[in-house]
A and B are shown apart, each in its own frame.
Chain A
Amino acid sequence: MATAIETRDLTRRFGARIAVDRVSMTVPERAVYGFLGRNGAGKTTTLKMLLGLIRPSAGSAFVDGVDVARDRIGAARRVGALLEAHGFYVNLTGRENLDLTRTLLGVPATEVDRVLEVVEMRENAARRVSDYSLGMRQRLGLARAMLGAPPVLVLDEPTNGLDPDGIADMRRFLKALPDRTGATVLLSSHLLGEIEQTATHIGIVNEGRLVLEGELSRLKSELAPEIAVRTDDPARAAEVLRGWDLTVVHSGIGGDDGLTARLRSGDDADRKSAELNRALIQAGLSVFAIGPRARSLEGIYRDVSQPSQNRQPETVR
């Protein structure tokens, strides 16, 4: 599959601090690529290097095959961006703001109506931006990013500050974007649920390093299955489970006091659940709930993105 964005050992230092550390990422064409990481992990710095806003200390970045460092303007022609700071002129209307960027891009005047139509903002285009809600500004920002129909869209936290309805609208919109426009979307966010429902591919950055990347459905299917267990005595249950070839972790997910038994890749989760259930009952424990649990993006994220000093080994037999 052709790549829309590629970085090779992309590195950026600020003094002694390494903000982005040899990041090599690949975003396939027409993907919605969720770029995940906690605040300060290096997401925005990576995006800024992709947009040519800051120079890498080492490595290279390519947008639609164009080296950003060698041909910034050529690369910029192939990318539209929605950045965290929108940069709208609030004394002007939405349409006037779009028209300023359109003029700078040198694209036809009809583009303004086209992108306003895509984000369903035509009715409000004549209002000053100072009167816009945050959701309307986000949509206007998206419209501006789509001016000239660039093949790549870079969106930094597009759901920031939106209400639940706005988030749902944005999710539907982003999901459909590759089919509607043929664009590739690189989406930075810290909202795991949103990325899980929107992205086809993910990249997780932690402490400046890309620690995981791939097609989301494949990553989830390749992960070892998990079994959630709730009993009347979690400590004893953990003792019992340690006799099996699996990893036991105190989940604490969802506010319960349960255990999670992480199986080995290829294990049959249903059969194993039944076997573990029998073992726990034979040990005299009351089993409230037991069953396979689908691996979530949150689980994947937590596995790979813990700060290195906090990373603790799981309980392994």
Chain B
Amino acid sequence: MIAVLTVEARKLNRSLAALLAIAAPSLIAIFVFFNLLRGGKPQPWEMWTQSSTGIWAFFMLPMSVTALTALVAHMEHGPRAWDHLRALPVARWKLYAAKAVCVIAVVAAMSLLNLALTLGAIYGAAAVKPEIMPTGPLDGAAPVVLMGKVLLAAILLIAIQLWTALRFSSFVPALAVGIGGTFFSVVATAAKQGVFFPWQMPVNMLSTEAWRVNAALALGGGVGTVVLLLAIAHLSRREVL
């Protein structure tokens, strides 16, 4: 499995995956920077880190997953590499599992980069306008834990996006699903039913109601893991004609 994983990671060399991984968190950091400069009073650290995580969870994460899954799938669909890969003496589930692990790892790296760039944006804005420097202690662990929960709750949407992108050789179905899911995630962010909607499960990690956090975490993480395993099994067994 290690060999398949390294191959999958090496395929990303000189692709646009790095650009995507840097661009999405950077956009949030830029927004946070200018948003901070608009204010005149200092706010607690937590407000800014949660604000950044919120934007990531309800919009940038689903969009990034849509783009990233389409990219890793099209590395094979584009040059029609499936026949070559599937004819090799390698268990096919490993090929698909490696893609899933790669996507989750890149999303995890993007999540951490998002936090790091957000902190950079806050310090940058405070350097320009010292009176807005956030107040109170900076709890380094809490934002990381929250971001981890967001990632866990996103497993179901990652599974759906990855399956769609790998199943269809055209990128249109995967984009349509991703854009549609993100659209409802944005326009109905406050909907109570959102806890059952895969694209809103990550943002529910910021809810103040414990049942919403727990339900979204169980569905997004638990059911998501089962769906991801089923997706890998289905893709491994189906014929690519």
Contact = CB atoms under 8 A, between A and B. Distances in A.
Interface of A: 48, 51-55, 73-74, 76-77, 79, 81, 83, 85-92, 96, 100-101, 103-106, 144
Contacts of A81: 84, 87
Contacts of B239: 53-55
A101 B88 contact: yes
A131 to B, nearest CB: 13
A86 B89 contact: no
A103 B3 CA distance: 6
Contact of B79 (A76, A79, A85, A100): A85
B7 A87 contact: no
B91 A51 contact: no
B79 A87 contact: yes
Interface string B1-24: 001101100110111000000000
B141 interface: no
Contacts, number: 77
Contact of A53 (B4, B11, B86): B86
Contacts of A92: 10-11, 13-14
Given A53-B240, A54-B239, A87-B79, A77 B89 contact: yes
Interface of B: 3-4, 6-7, 10-11, 13-15, 75-76, 79-91, 239-241
A89 B7 contact: no
A76 B87 contact: yes
Contacts of A89: 11, 75, 79, 81
28 contacts: A51-B83, A51-B87, A52-B86, A54-B241, A76-B87, A76-B89, A81-B87, A85-B80, A85-B83, A85-B84, A86-B79, A86-B84, A87-B76, A87-B84, A87-B85, A88-B79, A88-B81, A89-B75, A91-B13, A92-B10, A92-B11, A92-B13, A92-B14, A104-B3, A104-B88, A105-B88, A105-B89, A106-B3
A165 to B, nearest CB: 25
6 nearest CB pairs, A to B? A87-B81, A85-B80, A76-B89, A87-B84, A51-B87, A77-B89
Nearest to A78: B89
Nearest to B12: A91
Contacts of A51: 83, 87
A101 B3 CA distance: 10
Nearest to B13: A92
Nearest to A76: B89
A96 B13 contact: yes
B83 A73 contact: no
Nearest to A87: B81
Which of the listed residues A51, A53, A87, A92 has the most CB atoms from chain B within 10 Å of its own CB? A87
Contacts of A104: 3-4, 7, 85, 88, 90
A91 B89 CA distance: 24
A136 B80 CA distance: 18
Contacts of B7: 100, 103-104
A86 B83 CA distance: 9
Contacts of A86: 79-80, 84
Contacts of A96: 10, 13
B75 A83 contact: no
B87 A53 contact: yes
Nearest to B84: A87
Contacts of A144: 84
A83 B87 contact: yes
Contact of A73 (B82, B84, B90): B90
Contact of B80 (A54, A87, A90, A100): A87
A73 B85 contact: no
Contacts of A48: 83
Contacts of B87: 51-53, 76, 79, 81, 83
Contacts of B14: 91-92
Given A52-B86, A96-B10, 6 more contacts: A51-B83, A54-B241, A83-B83, A85-B84, A103-B6, A105-B88
Contacts of B11: 89, 92, 100
A185 B239 CA distance: 25
A87 B83 contact: yes
A92 to B, nearest CB: 6
Contacts of B85: 87, 104
A95 B3 CA distance: 17
A85 B85 CA distance: 12
